[in-house]
Amino acid sequence: MRRVCQHREALVDGFARRYGCRLLVYFEMHDEMVAAISREKQIKAGSRRKKLELIESVNSAWDDLFHLIV
């Protein structure tokens, strides 16, 4: 939750701030931080095509999903 808010408000330097990313179009919930970090690295290592396919498999309209986690 904290990281999503940081990205939405451009509080942290990085990709989201540099490119103006404000919508949450995909997320996964994990019980343990280690599992979440591992999955994040796995997704980041994938191609852009695979990332787009992952998003569109659950959110084909690219709606902002922020309301689902607050």
d(Cα 51, Cα 53) in Å, to the nearest integer? 5
Residue 38 tokens read as 């591992």
The whole-number pLDDT of residue 64 equals 95
49: confidence class by pLDDT, cuts 50, 70, 90:
very high
Q: What is the pLDDT of residues 8-19, one digit of tens each?
A: 888 989 888 899
Chain centre to alpha carbon of residue 3: 9
pTM: 0.81
56: confidence class by pLDDT, cuts 50, 70, 90:
very high
Chain centre to alpha carbon of residue 30: 13
Number of domains, the chain: 1
% the chain with pLDDT above 70: 100
Q: Which residues have C-beta within 8 Å of that of residue 70, sequence separation ≥ 6?
A: 1
What residues make up the domain containing 13?
2-68
- Give 20's DSSP letter: T
